[in-house]
Amino acid sequence: MTVSGFTGPQTRLRLRITGWSGLPAALGAAYLPAGQIRASTRGRQVLPMGRFPAPEEHPET
């Protein structure tokens, strides 16, 4: 918020909008690991997450 003190009210509005839009992004970023942890501890998919493809084998190994 220090930068918004120098730039004026339009930039403050942009900072507020981007700050609030960061909350759904953070929730989405926390949802997938929570679903993976719950699936690994219960042995089945608990939260709907979609499909995760298996990583390809590295040719160096």
User: pLDDT tens, position by position, for the chain (61 residues)?
Assistant: 555 566 666 677 888 888 888 899 999 899 888 888 888 888 887 878 777 676 677 666 5
Q: Is 35 helix (H, G, I), strand (E, B) or coil?
A: helix
Q: Has residue 23 been placed in a domain?
A: yes
Query: How far is the C-alpha of 9 from the C-alpha of 3, rounded, in Å?
Result: 11
Instruction: Quote the pLDDT of residue 9.
Output: 65
Half-sphere exposure of residue 45, counting CA atoms within 13 Å on the CB side? 7
Count CA within 13 A, CB hemisphere, residue 8: 1
Contact 50, 56 (CB under 8 A): no
Residue 10 domain-assigned?
Answer: yes
Confirm whether 21 is domain-assigned.
yes
pLDDT reported for residue 26:
92
Looking at residue 27, its pLDDT comes to 92
Residue 56 located in a structural domain: no
Residue 27 lies in a domain: yes
> Range of 10's domain?
2-35
Q: Note whether residue 48 is domain-resident.
A: no
